[in-house]
Amino acid sequence: MKLTAKHTILASYVGYLTQAITINYAPLLFITFQKEFDISLGKISLLIAISFLTQLTADITEAKLGHLIPPRIATVTAHVCAVLGLTGFAYLPNILPSPYLALIICTVVAAIGGGIIEVLISPIVEACPTTHKGAAMSLLHSFYSWGFAAVVLLTTLFFKFVGIEHWRMTAVFWALIPAIGAIAFCFVPIYDLDTADESKQDPAQKKKSLFKEPIFILFFIMMLCAGAAEQAMAQWASTFAELGLHVEKSIGDLLGPFAFAVLMGLSRTFYGVRGNRIKLSNFIFLSSILCILSFIVTAASPYPILSLVGCALCGLSVGIMWPGTYSLATSHISDVGVRMFAYLAFAGDIGCLLGPTAAGWIAELLGDDLRISFFISALFPAVLLICLIFLTKSKKRKV
Query: Domain-by-domain residue ranges, the chain?
Result: 5-393
Question: If DSSP codes are grouped into helix, strand and coil, which group holds residue 209?
Answer: coil
pLDDT at 274: 78
| Domain 5-393 class in CATH | mainly alpha
Question: If DSSP codes are grouped into helix, strand and coil, which group holds residue 348?
Answer: helix
State how far the Cα of 256 lies from the Cα of 315, in Å rounded to an integer.
10
pLDDT at 399: 42
279 phi and psi angles, rounded to 5 deg: -75, 120
The whole-number mean pLDDT for each consecutive block of 10 residues of the chain, a chain of 399 residues, reads 87 95 88 86 82 84 78 95 96 93 96 90 84 75 89 90 92 96 95 52 56 87 94 83 76 80 90 80 94 94 87 92 88 74 86 86 79 91 95 62
pLDDT at 154: 93
Which residues are within 8 A (CB) of 61 and not within 5 positions of it... i.e. 6 or more apart? none
Residue 341 DSSP symbol = H
pLDDT at 398: 44
- Whether the pTM exceeds 0.85: the reply is no
pLDDT at 196: 43
Question: If DSSP codes are grouped into helix, strand and coil, which group holds residue 45?
Answer: helix
